[in-house]
Amino acid sequence: MKYESKTVRIRLVEEIDAEFILKLRMDPKYNTYLSPVKQDLEAQQKWIRDYKKEENEGRQFYFIIERLDGIPCGTVRIYDLREDSFCWGSWILNENKTRYAALESAFLVYDFAFRSLGYSRSHFDVMKENKGVIDFHKKMGAIQTGEDHQNFYFEISKETVDHARSILKDKLS
């Protein structure tokens, strides 16, 4: 299963991606707003094996973001599936990303969850210090629904995402 855009695609994670994921998550340039992990390749492989069970049950999905030439450039997850809403996060893009990889990968996540899984909205949280990601979501039309000492909480509807897509279609095609 692959979802493809102009310069990137998302595909479900496989155990062979463990080294790439570990390298991303251990890199201080990218892990500021992520939960810490140990530098343990076997543990990462086991984590992916366990995650694949969740995926097979339709409870969570973990993707590798890669350029169309096959070079991996990031990760993203869909989890906390509710009746009509899903959460997404663990969104990392490295230096190999394309110019519009953030925008394209976000729309690919929404495509998968809205069209393939049938959700009508998304909920997610962003650490308050992660200003670039907060700005990105607000520009997409996400509405802040709450906050705590560490995070802002957001929601966005399928209609809002479709509207953002229509405005940004030149960058996506």
Return the pLDDT at 28.
73
**Positions of the chain with pLDDT under 70:** 1, 31-36, 173
Q: Distance between CA 170 and CA 172 in Å, rounded? A: 5
Contact 54, 78 (CB under 8 A): no
Return the pLDDT at 26.
83
What Å distances lie between residue 33 and 27, 94, 134, 157, CA to CA? Answer: 12, 14, 12, 24
Return the pLDDT at 27.
80
Contact 2, 9 (CB under 8 A): yes
Q: List b or e across 75-112, with b for residues whose CB sees 16 or more CB atoms inside 10 angstroms.
A: bbbbbbbeeebbbbbbbbbbeebbebbbbbbbbbbbbb
Token look-up 């394209």 returns: 104
Return the pLDDT at 29.
78
Residues 6+ apart with CB under 8 A from 35: none
Token look-up 């929404």 returns: 110
Return the pLDDT at 36.
62
Contact 94, 73 (CB under 8 A): yes
Residues 6+ apart with CB under 8 A from 165: 107, 172
User: Which pTM does this prediction carry?
Assistant: 0.92
Token readout for 107 is 């729309």
| CATH number, residue 165 | 3.40.630.30
Residues 6+ apart with CB under 8 A from 36: none
Q: Name the strand (E) or helix (H) holding 122.
A: strand 121-127
Q: What are phi and psi of 154, to 5 degrees?
A: -130, 165
Domain of 87? 2-172
Number of domains in the chain: 1
